[in-house]
Amino acid sequence: MSVRCQTLGNSIHLNFFEDPNVFRERFELYGDGCYVYKENGACLGYCVSHPWIKESPPPLNSLLTKIPNAPDTYYIHDIALDSRVRKKGTASTMVKLVLTHAKEKGFSEISLIAVNNLTGF
């Protein structure tokens, strides 16, 4: 994942800082659940998701070390979009990719923790 993608989330989620190593590890542990949105080679958004345990969401800014052996939910860790691609359906497209992937992997439930008053999720 590019440096621009790694810093995009921190520039959007100002009160929810995460070290770039957190994103890098998620991409390395479960790349199938990580999506990057680019235009003209520039990272303008991403979605990070992975299997997890519903009642134990990963703490903010923490490394996972591994994906659990018996996950019971599919977890959306983060979606971040540059202002240039908001309100254009980009988030919906990413969520649809996550939903399709989770269903293909046998998950019937998806979890997330919405921040910044994003009650629509």
Whether the full predicted model's pTM is greater than 0.85, yes or no, is no
Q: Using CA atoms of 116, 58, 48, 73 in order, give the dihedral in degrees to the nearest 10.
A: -110
Q: Distance (Å, rounded) from C-alpha 99 to C-alpha 44?
A: 21
Residues 65, 59, 32, 1, Cα dihedral to 10°:
-90
- Domains in the chain: ranges and CATH: 3-112 (3.40.630.30)
Helix (H) or strand (E) holding 26: helix 20-29
CB 79 within 8 A of CB 23: no
Kindly state the average pLDDT of the residues 2-27.
71
Question: What is the distance between the alpha carbons of residues 113 and 50, in angstroms, rounded to a whole number?
Answer: 14
Span 42-67, mean pLDDT? 90
Average pLDDT in the chain: 84
113 pLDDT band, cuts 50/70/90, is confident
Residue 101 is predicted with a pLDDT of 96
Helices 20-29 and 3-12, packing angle to 10 deg: 120
